[in-house]
Amino acid sequence: MKEHLRWLKDRGELLVIDREVNPNFEASSILKREDGRCAVLFKNVKGADLPLAGNLITKREYLLKAVGASRDSEAYSKLLYAMSNPTRPEVVEPTEYKVVADLSGLPLLRFYEKDGGPYITSAIFVARDPDLAVQNASIHRVMVVGSRRAVVRIVPRHLYRILKKSEARGEELPVAVVIGSKPAVYVAAASSPPYGVDELHVANTLLGGTLKVFEEPRTGLLVPTDFQVMIVGRLNPWEKEREGPFTDITGTYDIVREQPVLKIDAVYVRPEALFYAILPAGMEHKILMGFPREAAIWDSVRRVTPEVKAVRLTPGGCGWLHAVISIRKQREGEPKNVILAALAAHPSLKLVVVVDDDINVDDPVDIEWAIATRFQPDKDLVVISGVRGSSLDPSADQVSYLTSKWGLDATRPIDRPLEHFTKARIPWP
């Protein structure tokens, strides 16, 4: 993480704030103001012993740098390859760190007005399946309710499955919570390889075999050596507390739920450590969460159309619910296959817009222009009702998650003259 910050500083894209900053809303207001513009380093957070960094991956070029790629398709290919070809990191001696008493010295932020408490938003949970002895690494939000106690939002995916296995055994689940590793580790932890594939092995492949891990002594878990802060504790399957409200990727408050309690046994801090915060609903949140889904969409769509130029989970669609896909269309009907392939690859999608390869998927005006000039609702609209969508969509049924989905074929008709759909240009200079 510090290497990434140095790279940002060399580019002139790191704002350093020396004055004291309040962790309740002031720090998040600055992160919001600079979102998409630059990273921020707070050297003096009121009541905290550590500096705080945020906005580290708010631009696509930052993410490409993190995975060693020069363009989207290369980054998608690298992530898909890494998920299919995970490699074990080298196990080394423990990195230098000190053990502090609890969470009280950490710069824990309250981000938005109605947040249920201070949150840790950059937490990579490492846990081991008690039956298969395989590890999992995934990102979860953590609401801090005491100096040695927190509540963790765990959606029904891999960590949830491991926790249920521990519950069936009548055991608490030991976890190591990594904060501030390499950006590529965060990309891997946000991905969804098959159950049983260790995301740290995915990260190691992404990093060309350079990731190093050590055995955390209390849990026996293998964790990255380059952490900044690490929380070691136990998830209790039976003890739950109310978690939330929390502002999720949509920029709206998620509902309050009963979630498992994390009992904290130790907090490790590296020398001269930085704490790391991800602004909820900010570009960093959207890019980290959305990029692996873009890769899945790209992989699925390229199987039904010869050439995919670009895939984008749009900022206006919360980096999660809306996709724009640019293709080089070969025949009529192809864009509808693209819509269906995208919806299957990312079940949380609510809208898919398919455009020609002359449309910029990062330009909302260009996308709207394509819809205005190349889309006819009576033949180019696809609507699917009664399907499961995203729990993050406040307009969906929040119990069953049933929703409707739609797709727009905003591509040029092949049987019409191309010049009728070509933007006029001024050939100057």
Instruction: State the pLDDT at residue 396.
Output: 84
Tokens linked to 185: 């580790």
Q: Judging by beta carbons within 10 Å of its beta carbon (0-12, 13-18, 19+), is residue 87 exposed, middle or buried?
A: middle
Instruction: State the pLDDT at residue 314.
Output: 96
Domain boundaries, the chain: 1-56, 59-270, 284-419
Question: How far apart are alpha carbons 266 and 270 in whole angstroms?
Answer: 13
Return the beta strands (E) in 88-205 as ranges. 90-91, 98-100, 119-128, 135-146, 149-152, 173-179
Instruction: Tell me, yes or no, if the two domains 59-270 and 284-419 fold the same way.
Output: no
Q: What is the pTM for the complete model shown?
A: 0.94
Instruction: State the pLDDT at residue 420.
Output: 83
Instruction: State the pLDDT at residue 407.
Output: 97
DSSP-derived secondary structure for 381-421? EEEEEEEE--TT-TTS-TTT-EEEEEEEEESPPTTS-GGGG
Decide the pairing of beta strands 39-45 and 14-21. parallel
Instruction: State the pLDDT at residue 415.
Output: 83
Indicate which residue of 248, 254, 393, 409 is catalytic: 248
**Any residues with CB less than 8 A from the CB of 157 and at least 6 apart, and which?**
138, 192
Three-state DSSP at 287 gives helix
Instruction: State the pLDDT at residue 394.
Output: 86
pLDDT digit string (tens) for the chain, length 429 residues: 889 999 999 999 999 999 999 999 999 999 999 999 999 999 999 999 999 999 999 999 999 999 999 999 999 999 999 999 999 999 999 889 999 989 999 999 999 999 999 999 999 999 999 999 899 999 999 999 999 999 999 998 999 999 999 999 999 999 999 999 999 999 999 998 999 999 999 999 999 999 999 999 999 999 999 999 999 999 999 999 999 999 999 999 998 999 999 999 999 999 999 999 999 999 999 999 999 999 999 999 999 998 999 999 999 999 999 999 999 999 999 999 999 999 999 999 999 999 999 999 999 999 999 999 999 999 999 999 999 988 888 888 877 889 999 999 999 998 887 888 888 889 998
Annotated catalytic residue 248: yes
199-206 vs 183-190: helix crossing angle, rounded to 10: 130
Count the neighbouring beta carbons within 10 Å of the beta carbon of residue 119: 27
Q: Which long-range contacts (CB under 8 A, 24 or more apart) does 386-389 make?
A: 388/347, 389/347, 389/348, 389/350
Q: Enter the CATH code of domain 284-419.
A: 3.40.1670.10
Helix segments in 148-250, DSSP class H:
158-169, 183-190, 199-206
Question: How far apart are alpha carbons 10 and 267 in whole angstroms?
Answer: 32
Instruction: State the pLDDT at residue 90.
Output: 96
> Per-residue b/e over 230-256, b at no fewer than 16 CB within 10 Å?
bbbbbbbbeeebebbbbbbbbeebbee
Domain 59-270, CATH among 2.70.98.10, 2.60.40.10, 2.30.110.10, 1.10.580.10: 2.30.110.10
Decide the pairing of beta strands 351-356 and 402-410. parallel
Of the candidates 275, 174, 288, 181, the residue with the CA atom closest to the CA atom of residue 224? 181
